[in-house]
Structures are given as structure tokens and as C-alpha cells.
Amino acid sequence: MKIGNDITSIQYLRAIAAISVLCFHVSEAYGLEFKAGAAGVDIFFVISGFIMWITTEGKPIGPQEFMLRRLSRIVPLYWIATAATFAVAMSKPQFFFNTNSSIGNLIGSLFFLPVTKDEALHPLVEQGWTLSYEMFFYLIFSISLFLPEFRRLWFLVVALVAAVMAHYLLPLGYISVFTQPVILEFAAGIIVGRLWKQGFRLPFGAAIGLMIVGFILLLASDLLAHVDRALRWGVPAVLLLSGAVFAERERGAPKLAFLHFLGDASYSIYVWHVLTGILVTALLLRFGVPHAAQPVLIALGSLAFAIVCYLYIERPILRRMRPTRRQPAYRG
């Protein structure tokens, strides 16, 4: 049976999710319609639940080791991106008119507790709010590792569902923010991961059908603008991931080297793309590039700079932290 870092379709989904969020932010800045690109976040959340389960089931991993691994994976790059964003925001505040660049928010962002507004998190790195949710999920997951394995699945699902139920009873504040229904996407990923680890199979046609339905629902998601994102984008994300991994189990996945590489670089693409997009925008304005050409050039330029950040910042960090271990193709 394959392990997590051999699931090629997960790599591809990570690449697609990161680039979708990048394109969403560019389109949003220019008043273009690509709201479905925001669903890349939901794909990441479902993938996270899936990978956390399949990389820990049947392995003697305790809570402390789990959290240390997660912190070492997430924190160094995010702190560097946060510090860089703060420095640029201080020198070029005109590009950060919607960003709270106070010292207090800098400290809060570094510890995944940024300022809140309208029941949402607003860290210095705009898209960093999702990492706060990841850390909340990791905390719950680490607690589950105290339990015997046969009880962990139920604990995780019940804990996440109970948290969402509490969301509607708690006063506004951090607790209310962190218990929004979007965290159910982690639970969905865990369930798919459990099925995958237990050897569950779907006919290839049925798996492809799940992916098609998920894609159609994403295209139609603008018709559900007032529906909570856990349904609007979470359900399609679950269908896409489920279809992808079970289709690959039946017939494998095509080998697309560049897309696989983008999967490796997806965390850097996700963390850096807003800042690199701002830098590319400044360059285009300086050279007088026509407005109509700017969105495509910003998306491509931001992606290129983010890949450079992966090659020269993230990858060296990972090598330094795990010098004796071969870097896996997939890192959750």
C-alpha cells in the first residue's frame, strides 16, 4: 500500500489549490470574477485532514512529536514571510491599505492569533488566517494521539462537530472564530483518509464521477453565494479529493513532472503569493504596463517569485532541519 508521499494526485491537488488561491487574489484586486479560486483553501483543509490521518495511523507518534513536526514544517517559512510583509508594509504602506501592520498584529500573527474583525482573522500575511485554523486542528489532532487508535477517529470527528455546535452558542471572539463550520473540512479529510488506509476501493468510473461532480459544483458555487463555505466549497473539495485518490488507487496517475514540482512548492506559493504579487504590481506600474495586461502578468510573476522563494528559502530550511532524511515528494 502506498504511503502519503507517494499519492501523486494529492501533489497535483496541492498545486492546483495554491495556484487557484493566487489567481483568486489577483482577480479580486482587479474586480474580475474568479470566486471559485478561493476554494483552494478548502481543498487544502480536506487534504490536511487526509494526510494527518494516513501519516499517523499505525505509527507510534506521540502528541509532542506530532506537534514538533507540524511546527517545524509550518512556522519557519511563515515567520519569514510575516517579517518580510511587515518590513514592506512599513516602507510601502500604500500597497497595504487594508492591512493592520501594527506591532501588536505582528506579534499576534507570528503566534497565529492575529487581530479579528467581522468574525474573521486578519494577520499580516493576508492568507495566513488559514494557518491559524491549521494550528487549531493540529492541537485537536495532537490530543487525539493520547488515545488508543480505535478511538481516535471518533474523538476527532466528535470534537470537531462539537466545536462547530459550540460556535453558535459562544460569544464573539477568538473561540467563536476558530469554531466556524469550515473546520468540518478537516473531519471530512480524516474520514476519507481512514477509508483509504483501510483499503477501500471505488470503481474507476465512480471515482472519476466524483471528481466531475465536484468540479461542476465549484463552477456553480457562485449560485450559492450565501451558503456557508463548508457546504459551498467544502463539499466539492471532498468530492475532488476522494475521486482523485481512489481513481489513482485503481489506475495510477499520469506523471506530470512540473505539476508535481508545483505540489512540492505549493506551501511557498501559498504563503508568498500576495507579497510577491504586490512587488510585481509595483514593477508593472513603474514600467507603465497597460492595466488590461496587468492581471495575467501579476499572476505569472507572483508564481515565478514564489517558486524562487521555494527553491532558495523553503527547501534549504527543510534540508537544514532534516539533514539526514530524504525529502519526501509530499509534505503535508
* pLDDT tens track for 4-58: 447 999 999 999 999 999 999 999 989 898 989 999 999 999 999 999 999 999 9
pLDDT given for residue 326 in this prediction: 44
Give one word for 288, left, alpha or beta, with left for phi > 0 and alpha for psi -120 to 50: left
Confidence (pLDDT) at 149? 84
Confidence grade of residue 94 (pLDDT, cut at 50, 70, 90): confident
Chain position carrying cell 510583509: 85
Q: How confident is the model at residue 328 (pLDDT cuts 50, 70, 90)?
A: very low
Taking the domains of the chain in order of start, what are their residue ranges? 4-321
172 alpha-carbon distance from chain centroid: 25
- 110-120 pLDDT, tens digit per residue, is 999 999 988 89
Encode pLDDT of 120-158 as tens digits: 999 999 999 999 999 999 999 999 999 998 899 999 999
Predicted confidence (pLDDT) at residue 327 exceeds the cutoff of 90: no
In this predicted structure, the answer to whether residue 164 has a pLDDT above a threshold of 90 is: yes
Q: Give tens-digit pLDDT for 260-276.
A: 999 999 999 999 999 99
Report percent pLDDT > 90 for the chain. 81
- The 3-state secondary structure of 162-221, one letter per residue: HHHHHHCCCCCCHHHHHCCHHHHHHHHHHHHHHHHHCCCCCCHHHHHHHHHHHHHHHHCH
**CB distance 101 to 110 below 8 Å:** no
Q: In this model, does residue 324 exceed pLDDT 60?
A: no
**pLDDT, mean over the chain:** 92
pLDDT bracket for residue 278 (50, 70, 90): very high
* Region 246-270 average pLDDT: 96
Containing 115, the helix (H) or strand (E) segment is strand 115-117
- Please, which pLDDT band fits residue 97 given cuts at 50, 70 and 90? confident
Helix pair 184-197, 40-54: axis angle to 10 deg = 40
